[in-house]
């Protein structure tokens, strides 16, 4: 579970904070002379970035059903390890499917929890 939470936190941290960058960039034209070509270029860049934010904001979603499915998959993997630890003996063989479940489930949860453009079926575009 710690792996999944760490992946989600990392995915959120690595996302560029576009609105904060635009906010900082919006303060720069006031520092430049009015006739400066750099001021016009910066203003055009800020305008284009704001347009991208507004247009793309509604298109990016999370796949909640996928997140719930894979979290239940991870829960089952943890349950198998707990049963194996409790019973011992040949029950330790349950750790093999648990490991496969964990290796499949952890990246899938991060993928489905990340904001992305998705098609009608919820698959990343």
Query: Do residues 17 and 42 both lie within one domain?
Result: yes
In this prediction, residue 14 carries a pLDDT of 53
In this prediction, residue 21 carries a pLDDT of 76
Instruction: Identify whether the C-beta of residue 32 lies closer than 8 Å to the C-beta of residue 45.
Output: no
How many separate domains does the chain show?
2
Residue range(s) defining the domain that contains residue 77? 61-117
Which residues in the chain show pLDDT less than 50?
A: none
In this prediction, residue 15 carries a pLDDT of 52
In this prediction, residue 56 carries a pLDDT of 65
Question: Which of 85, 78, 91, 79 minimizes the C-alpha distance to 3?
Answer: 78
**Last residue of some domain: 58, 79, 95?**
58
Distance CA 26, CA 81 (A): 53
Q: Does 1 map to a domain?
A: no
The total of other beta-carbon atoms located within 10 Å of residue 13's CB is: 8
């Amino acid at each position: 579970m710690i792996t999944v939470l760490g992946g989600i936190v990392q995915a959120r941290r690595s996302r560029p904070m576009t609105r904060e960058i635009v906010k900082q960039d919006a303060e720069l034209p006031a520092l430049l002379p009015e006739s400066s070509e750099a001021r016009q270029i910066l203003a055009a860049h800020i305008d284009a970035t704001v347009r991208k934010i507004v247009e793309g904001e509604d298109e990016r979603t999370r796949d909640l059903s996928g997140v719930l499915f894979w979290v239940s998959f991870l829960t089952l993997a943890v349950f198998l390890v707990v049963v194996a630890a409790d019973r011992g003996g040949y029950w330790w063989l349950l750790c093999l499917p648990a490991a496969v479940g964990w290796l499949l489930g952890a990246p899938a949860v991060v993928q489905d929890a990340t904001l992305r453009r998705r098609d009608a079926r919820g698959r990343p575009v």
